[in-house]
Structure 1
Amino acid sequence: MKRIKNRRNQTYRTPSYAKLWAAQVFSSAADGVWLIALPLLVLDLTGSKILVGVISFIELVPLTFGVFTGPLIDSFRKKSILYICNTGRAAIMVLLAMLSANHLLSVWIAGACAFFLSLQSMLFAPAKVALIPLLVRQKHLDQATSLMNTSDLIGLIVGKLICGVLLATIPFSFLFTINGAAFFISAVLILLIRTSEPIVQKSKGTEDMKAGYRMLKGNKTWLTSVGYFFIVNLVIAGLISVMGPILAVERFGKDYSVWFAVMYALFQAGMLLGNLAVFFKWNTKHLVRLYPRTLTGAGALIMILFFPLHGFECVIFLVLGIIISYIDVQTVLYFQKTVPTAYFGRIFALIFSIVKMGEPLSAALYTALLLLMTANYIFLSIGLSLILIFFTLSVMQIVQRTSHEKADRSV
């Protein structure tokens, strides 16, 4: 019996972790559905490419509020926060279904619902990350976090593909009803999780936020990682949410909803592959070197989208997902291992807020560029800019490292 008990203690596959994993699958699948459905709903209601950008901007704005939620996450049970978020998202989906069925749904109501869905996602993500170390041991944190990210990506892929296929056969109202049920199932699974969270102290408000800010500001490596993370979101978020539907409409005609879902799902599939690379230990410890090299590659891929690729755009989105996920997961793991447990919530919320601030700015950037040039030239200009900036930075790093090695040998 002791041997069996020790084996259980040596793994992250505990019942509570399994329930969180399953809840994440349902929650992510539901997220995948509304992330595809709402931009296509706006196109269906208005036919305006600019409004797609505006709604995407509204949807992404709440992700920048994370700086104010860190003390909140540290002051309440993470499990309770996750449960409230998913019951709230289930209620919003039911509201969307009712309004759509009665032909009362306008683009601005859809935008408001997107805002509140995103607001709850902003609370859900850091609370989930902060809960994982409470369910598994430190030595299993790499695998547990990587597997949790895998569930997130699998759910998003499945949700996006289901949405693209179902929208060709069922109305938005029925789709939103199914989505609400998925969020509700996730909430029930979260409710069944057993965890002994430490007794929390009452938040000191701005003092807690300042403490987290001081910790982040005083760590140069943390700041560097956050800066690169911000750039990744600045480039990729608008590329997916704003340019994705437009690319599908311009190149695939009447089948644009299916193609947009496929491109978006393949991007998530690429993120899954990148996540698995970390899961099987194919990772590197040299994050500072990794960032400029991967962003140079991302720039080259985006620039290729300038050309008509006759379906190979999906391959570009797949490879972009691999690149982004490979650095994403390693960055999260780095923070999980270096941030003190008592500051998990506020530090992760602060980082999440700073990084996610790039997403609404990205939507605004791509929307503004659409007023100045066509989609093809946007891909060309963004991709070329990334190549020039980060290839130069990568070369500078190599030169500096070589000079330091020569100096060490001379000594």
Structure 2
Amino acid sequence: MSKPLFVLLLGRILTNFSDSFYKIATIWYVKNTTDSSLLIGITSAIAILPITIQFLYGPIIDRFSKRRILFFASIGQGLFISIISILYYAESLWLPVLFLLMFLSLTFSEATYPTENALIERLASRDKLAKVNSIFAFSYQTLDIICDAISGILIAFVGLGVIYISNSVLLIFTGMLFLFYLKVPASKRESEATTNHFFKQYKKDFADGFRVVKRQKTLLSILFGVIGINVLATMGLAMLPVISNTSVKYGFWLTSMSIGSIVGTILSSRLEKMPLNRVLPLTSLISGTSWLLAMVTVNQFIVPYIFFGLAWLGIGIMGIYIQTLIQVNLPEEYLGTGFTFLSSLLGSLSPIGFFLGGLLGQLTSSYLVLYLACLGYFGFAVYFWVHPKLSRLENELSSRFEESI
């Protein structure tokens, strides 16, 4: 692995480490403060809401220095978490203020993901993209397992305040790492001279990027199906803190998700030669069945965690596939814009899913919501099989759709 890729990977790991801890800490703070399914669902919705405006970053990512974007994103995120820490210790952490600061922090965080994905495409050859994506996902998801496994213990023993402070310091350190050690050549559009004012150029780049994304008919057809999965899955995820009697048990659910995802990312690079019309619906079907079995066996000691991990194995595979398909099919000069548009599209209804999950859990039963969540995976498999174009999609992962469709 080249030095720029290694620095990028290290920064991604550190950012992911921080994100995992302070999100879990915030959700647990809301649970302990309110014990409300609705407010827990709202907290999760706010945590994912910034992804819906990610498309606004696209033209900036394609036009400006990606190293500086990563620096400012990490520093900004760290500063907002610092404010949360101060308010927590001052016993002035009012929930609406917490929600606002969390939203602003994660708004900065969301700029890092498409920026890093655009850099990966530039720093790795196309035939190595799936492998590099798997390495990145494997590395920070391994850390996710550690974070999720010990998050409940840390919350219980060191307290939320220490978690907030340590993560703010870590994020600021990550920003410095990007600024001083991430050396990447400027892209064609970064070095391209322009006489337009910022907003005029931004508007032009935004429109050009939108047209590029709009032409990706096959890719968009797949992503529309994934949106359906996201809505129902987020409804179920909003209920995990509710059915957990302790922070440790909540950590178990998160750990099983992480282990399943990491196994999925390992398997994804070994499946890349299989046709997409076999891999994607099959993995979705496995995820839906395993999720259902996890709920059926929810009181059977470690059995539900095993099944829930298997559900996320399929989700891990699908995640790597979607990321790689975007990198392969979008032109390099529009990768930043494309990633942000498509990420916003994928996450557009997830906040609604978290909110609806919390609302339905409050009005009915948290377990009913968790049963409903698996329907999205069954629906995606059926959607792929009956869609006239997707059912014939025999492409391998690394080939462009336009080359054979």
> Does the 8 Å CA contact 1:64/1:354 hold for their aligned counterparts?
yes
CA distance, structure 2, for counterparts of residue 22 and residue 325 of structure 1? 20
249, 264, 267: which one pairs with 1:274?
264
C-alpha displacement at 1:261, in angstroms?
Answer: 1.4
- Structure 2 residue corresponding to 1:247, chosen from 240, 243, 259: 243
1:213 maps to what in 2? 210
Q: State the secondary structure of the residue aligned to 1:194.
A: coil
Pair 1:330-2:321 in alignment: yes
Paired letter, 1:243: M
Structure 2 alignment gaps of length 5 or more: 393-405
Range 313-322 or range 41-50, more displaced: 313-322
Q: What is the CA–CA distance in structure 2 between the aligned matches of 1:401 and 1:132, rounded to whole Å?
A: 30
SS in structure 2 of the partner of residue 159 of structure 1 = helix
Question: 1:80 is matched with which residue?
Answer: 68
Taking a change above 3 Å as real, the CA distance of residues 75 and 392 of structure 1, as seen in their structure-2 partners, is: closer
1:349 partnered with 2:345: no
* The one of 133, 136, 139 aligned to 2:121: 133
Alignment partner of 2:272 out of 258, 277, 283: 283
Q: Which residue identity is paired with 1:121?
A: S
2:403 aligned partner: none
Give how far 1:401 is off.
6.7
Return the offset for 1:150. Answer: 1.8
Q: Give 2:290's match in structure 1, choosing from 292, 296, 301.
A: 301
8 A contact 1:79–1:131 mirrored in 2 = no
Conserved 8 A contact 1:262-1:314:
yes
Change in Cα spacing, 1:147 to 1:62, as seen in structure 2 (3 Å) is: same
Instruction: Verify: 1:155 aligned to 2:143, yes or no.
Output: yes
Counterpart of 1:7 in structure 2 is none
Q: Distance in 1 between matches of 2:262 and 2:298?
A: 26
CA displacement 1:252-278 (0-9 Å, x = unmatched): x3xx20111121122022111111112
* 2:364 alignment partner, one of 373, 380, 384: 373
1:265 aligns with 2:261: no
Letter in 1 for 2:64: F
Number of equivalences: 380
Match of 1:171 in 2: 159
Question: Quick one: distance in 2 between partners of 1:396 and 1:334?
Answer: 21
Q: Tell me the percent identity.
A: 20
| Amino acid corresponding to residue 247 of structure 1 in structure 2 | I
Query: Post-superposition shift, 1:24?
Result: 1.4
Contact kept, 8 Å, 2:41 with 2:355, in 1: the verdict is: yes
Cα distance, 1:58–1:393 mapped onto 2, change above 3 Å: closer
Match for 2:100 among 89, 92, 112? 112
Deviations 1:169-193 (A, max 9, x none): 1121111111122212322221211
Deviates more, 1:182-191 or 1:302-311: 302-311
Contact kept, 8 Å, 1:71 with 1:208, in 2: the verdict is yes
Q: Would the aligned equivalents of 1:228 and 1:291 in 2 still touch at CA under 8 Å? A: no
Match of 1:6 in 2: none
Q: CA deviation at 1:140?
A: 3.0
Partner Cα distance (1:384, 1:261) in 2? 24
| 8 Å Cα contact 1:26-1:155 kept in structure 2 | no
Instruction: Output one character per residue of 1:281-310: Cα deviation in whole Å (capped at 9) or x when no partner.
Output: 233543344333333333333333155333
Name the structure 1 match of 2:77.
89
Residue 305 (structure 2) aligns with = 314
Letter in 2 for 1:79: R
Q: Give the match's secondary structure for 2:99.
A: helix
Task: Give secondary structure in 2 for the equivalent of 1:205.
Answer: helix
Q: Secondary structure at the match of 1:310?
A: coil
Aligned to 1:64: 52
Letter of the structure 1 residue corresponding to residue 330 of structure 2: V
Check 1:386–1:369 CA distance in 2 against 1; reply closer, same or farther (3 A cut). Answer: farther
Cα–Cα, structure 1 residues 285 and 353, in superposed 2: closer, same or farther, change >3 Å? farther
* TM-score, L = length of structure 1: 0.85
Q: Which amino acid in structure 2 is aligned with residue 270 of structure 1?
A: G
Tell me what 2:395 maps to: none
Deviations 1:222-266, CA, capped at 9 Å, x for gaps: 1122212322322323322x1110121xxxx3xx20111121122
Name the residue aligned to 2:399: none
Look up the SS of the partner of 1:167 in the other structure.
Answer: helix
> Mean alpha-carbon deviation: is it higher for 256-265 or for 211-220?
211-220
Separation of aligned partners in 1, 2:387 and 2:345:
25
Aligned AA for 2:39? L
Change in 2 beyond 3 A, CA 1:391/1:28: closer
Once residues 44 and 186 of structure 1 are traced to their aligned partners in structure 2, the CA distance between those partners, rounded to angstroms, is 30
How far 1:351 moved relative to its partner?
0.5
Q: Distance in 1 between matches of 2:321 and 2:55?
A: 22
Tell me the distance in 2 between the aligned counterparts of 1:142 and 1:307: 35
Q: Which residue of 1 aligns with 2:221?
A: 224
SS in 1 for 2:166: helix
Of the structure 1 ranges 170-179 and 150-159, higher mean CA displacement relative to structure 2 is found in: 150-159
* Cα distance in 2, alignment partners of residues 295 and 143 from structure 1: 21
1:42 is aligned to 2:30: yes
